[in-house]
Copies of this chain bind each other. A is one copy, B any other.
Amino acid sequence: MKNEMMTTEENVANIVSATELMDHWQGHRRLTRKLIELFPEEHFYTFSIGGMRPCSELMMELIVMAAPGAQGLVTGNWQTEDQLAVDFSAKAPSTKAEVLAMWDRSTEQMNAVWPQIRPERFQESDAAFGVYANKVIYSLFYFIDNEVHHRGQAYVYLRALGIEPPAFWDRA
């Protein structure tokens, strides 16, 4: 009954800002970065459970999606800055330090492009990476959720290695 009193317009106003959404994503990315720092380098490229990808490949998937994904959400251009299609099978650099450098470069690129997003954009339909048709807001949620999902898996790897993961709630 009560929901019938609420018009669609009332229901969509002022719930969250584009800036808050990026802050939320970057908070998750700060936590994931802590996990990479904590993950033992000797296990980063090799440790696996149940035939799953090692942590390096899970993290590389997040890197190839992050900055090109943010750019695509904002502009509708789903290619990398080098004008190459995103390569989901890209291999991680051979040291954690290089992975972290890529991570930080992605952070800067995401923060640089995000302020250009038009608020109407979130309700537009677009095919993320040219493939996954969805509303932009849902593609954004997908990118964030995909990171939380794989990072949760890397938490299990850390626990299996006897290492306490960073606190899930700490996004500082």
**Interface residues, chain A, with chain B CB atoms under 8 Å away:** 2-3, 6, 8, 10-21, 24, 28, 49-52, 115-116, 119-120, 122-123, 132, 137-138, 141-142, 144-146, 148-153, 155-162, 168-169
Contacts and interface: CB of A to CB of B under 8 A. Distances in A.
Given A16-B137, A152-B152, 14 more contacts: A2-B115, A3-B115, A3-B116, A10-B119, A11-B18, A11-B119, A15-B17, A15-B18, A20-B138, A50-B156, A52-B159, A148-B148, A149-B168, A152-B153
A17 to B, nearest CB: 4
B15 A49 contact: no
A159 B50 contact: yes
Report how many copies the assembly holds.
Answer: 2
B50 A160 contact: yes
A157 B152 CA distance: 12
A11 B18 CA distance: 6
A16 B13 contact: no
Contacts of A115: 2-3, 6
